[in-house]
Amino acid sequence: MSLWLVRPLLCTCVLAAVMAENLGAAEARRYASSDSDAGYVHWIDLYDTSNRKITADSTLPYSPQNTCGRCHDEQTISHGWHFNAFALGSTQGRPSEPWIWDDARTGTQLPLSYRSQPETQRSTFDPRDIGLTPWRMASQFGARFPGGGFGTPEQAAGPAPETAENTDDSESPIPQSPRWDFSGNLEIDCMVCHATSGQYDFESRRHHIDDENFAWAPTAAMHLATVEGRVSRIKDDADPEDEKTQAALPKLSYDAERFAPDGTVFFDLVREPDNNACYQCHTTVHVNDDGMEPAWIHDEDVHLRAGMKCVDCHRNGLDHDTVRGFPGEKRADGFSVSTLSCQGCHLGEESSGLASEKITSRAGRLGSPTPLHAGLPPVHFERLSCTACHSGAVPRDEATRIMTSLAHSLGAKERRTGFESPQIQGPIYRKLADGKIYPERIMWPAFWGILEGDAITPLNPDDVFEWTRRPLRVRKSFIEELASDPEKFDEKVGASLAAIETETGAEQAVYVSSGAVYGRLEDEAGNFSLELLPGDFGAAQPVSWPIAHNVRPAGWALGAAGCVECHSDEGKIFTSVVKPLGPAPLDAEPVTMASLQGLDAAQLMRWNQLFAGRSSFKVLVAISLAILFVIMLIGVGSVAGLLTRRLSSEGESKS
């Protein structure tokens, strides 16, 4: 090609590159940054859901996206760990706690997750496969996540999941609910995490989300205005443009005293979230036979006790890709976070050899001590996670019931007995994909579904409630009204399965609980009865997720009292049991930790016997060595005396 043709082409490419670079720089400059460790004082203008500036006379709620997004890259933030799982189907490392759809009226405790889960958590189900729309997920679980994801139809939109009828090549969008027109979006609410402790009213936010006032919840939580009205009272077939519908939407009245003369409003916020914000979704309570155990008998996490904050380890940048702290964690931005894991912080990580990385891979971050692990054979680091010995409640003879914020709405002002569903237990000890033993929480799913071959597909819990409302006739609690009476259980569950088969046209409807599968079977006389179906059904298997906190100090770690604390017939890490629990009146056989770890009971017993006599063996060896030493001393003395006498006799003979 001649030079006169190449030169314009090169100039065009260079110009395009320069323009792209300038556009990128301009995009970056569009967002504000103080670039200082000092907190920026936020006297800011508020913008409503229509992107108009708010005054004391405005009638629409404030929009975090339109307000905060003027200075901060909301699009980048929306890909953060707390927001991205719902629509992007992301997975990163080990399993996380699923959303558990709990309906006490139908005996349902169904674990749900948009994330791709590893084999150890195979009993979680994608909400899209069950026909649960993003809006329905937001109305069910919105009070326990900070918004975005399935809380906004724009982020939740995308290709439907792969099923038998819908492959990866499908362009079918996720079905959306018309109720978005009434509720508005449940946007990412920055102040959930970044408001100073005590300023943000989480209870008010939960109350309005339960009333389907999604768009109004951030305004109410910050007490910027009084909000009255409930979207939940508007019928599904209402016309959004109708005057009556518009009149039924929530009404608000802004607090004029919150506005400065120039129209700005003061937001008292922090860059690093306080622990109180984390506790709203990450609190755990243990339950004994008498109910919820009081908090004062349990110790605080050793790191928090030392004055640390959650975000000291669980950090993130603008992308809000929060560090989870598990071994081998990788980040898309390439930054190393290895020293923010237990092992990396306390023991250090192997360096790649580059001089610039040797310091950043050392132990001692944030002043953490280096544990000695005196006398602990290296094989323990190959087969045990740090959390196996140091995290969670001290193991007992049997795993105890557990309540969590996500599953049991801890923090909401209501009375709890401790025995509410879903029935989560822990700690249990099982091996994960890396071959190490981890402490986990565990739950057996309970749901209604359709059996085809060996596969069970859960049914939409809203549909189940409508189809079984008459045959079940449960007013409040499936467990209280049916599980205590096996005959009534058989009768009503059998009738409900018949109703589901009639509604769906399926040949075999089933009810899953405690790892068992119930179905209607016909005898030779044509009579149906409720029976346990034989077989190993994957959908009935338990779901589990790791325990990381509370971390116990060295003196409370497993093994601190010696080898026999684990390697004995009473070693809880192997002999503790967990009993499959569910709404059905089934007395399931307990499962030992050894079986969860794939260990042979006879081999484990022989191994424990070796350790049982280990102390006596050490004493015997010490005594034997002492006796041998004395004998050697006597022998040496005898030899020395003999030589002395011989030398003396030889000297006398020469004389």
What's at 360, amino acid-wise? T
Question: Are 542 and 588 contacting, i.e. CB atoms less than 8 angstroms apart?
Answer: no
Question: Are 280 and 405 contacting, i.e. CB atoms less than 8 angstroms apart?
Answer: yes
Q: Which residue has the tokens 């003369």?
A: 261
Long-range contacts from 88-93, C-beta under 8 angstroms, 24+ separation? 88/114, 88/158, 89/114, 89/115, 89/116, 89/161, 90/115, 90/116, 91/115, 91/116, 91/117, 91/118, 92/324, 92/329, 93/324, 93/326, 93/328, 93/329
Tell which residue, 400, 178, 369, has the closest CA to residue 286: 400
Question: Are 391 and 549 contacting, i.e. CB atoms less than 8 angstroms apart?
Answer: yes
Task: Enter the pTM of the model.
Answer: 0.85
Residue spans of alpha helices (H) in 561-613: 572-575, 593-596, 601-612
Task: Please report the pLDDT score of residue 600 as a whole number.
Answer: 80
Q: What are phi and psi of 129, to 5 degrees?
A: -70, -20
Question: Are 639 and 598 contacting, i.e. CB atoms less than 8 angstroms apart?
Answer: no
Tell which residue, 306, 285, 276, 273, has the closest CA to residue 552: 306
Q: How many CB atoms lie within 10 A of CB 503?
A: 15
Asked if residue 547 has pLDDT above 80, the reply is yes
Confidence of residue 1 (pLDDT cuts 50, 70, 90): very low
Confidence of residue 315 (pLDDT cuts 50, 70, 90): very high
CA 405 to CA 279: how far, in whole Å? 8
CA 283 to CA 310: how far, in whole Å? 12
Task: Please report the pLDDT score of residue 172 as a whole number.
Answer: 45
- Mean pLDDT along residues 260-286: 94
Render pLDDT for 163-206 as a digit per residue (tens, 0 to 9): 434 444 444 455 678 899 999 999 999 999 999 988 999 999 99
- Mean pLDDT along residues 526-538: 90
Query: What does DSSP assign to residue 512?
Result: E
Q: What percent of the chain has pLDDT over 70?
A: 84
Name the packing angle between helices 486-504 and 461-472 (round to 10°): 130
CA 591 to CA 580: how far, in whole Å? 8
Render pLDDT for 111-142 as a digit per residue (tens, 0 to 9): 999 887 665 556 789 998 999 999 999 999 99
What's at 196, amino acid-wise? T
CA atoms in the 13 A half-sphere facing the CB of 473: 8
Distance between first and last Cα of the chain: 119
β partners of residue 285: 403
Question: Are 528 and 518 contacting, i.e. CB atoms less than 8 angstroms apart?
Answer: no
- Mean pLDDT along residues 486-497: 94
Question: Are 365 and 339 contacting, i.e. CB atoms less than 8 angstroms apart?
Answer: yes
Render pLDDT for 401-436 as a digit per residue (tens, 0 to 9): 999 999 999 988 888 888 999 999 999 999 888 889
Task: Please report the pLDDT score of residue 21 as a whole number.
Answer: 46
Q: What are phi and psi of 645, to 5 degrees?
A: -65, -40
Q: What percent of the chain has pLDDT over 90?
A: 57
Confidence of residue 225 (pLDDT cuts 50, 70, 90): very high
Confidence of residue 86 (pLDDT cuts 50, 70, 90): low
Confidence of residue 2 (pLDDT cuts 50, 70, 90): very low
CA 340 to CA 326: how far, in whole Å? 8
Max Cα separation, the chain? 139
Question: Are 449 and 507 contacting, i.e. CB atoms less than 8 angstroms apart?
Answer: no
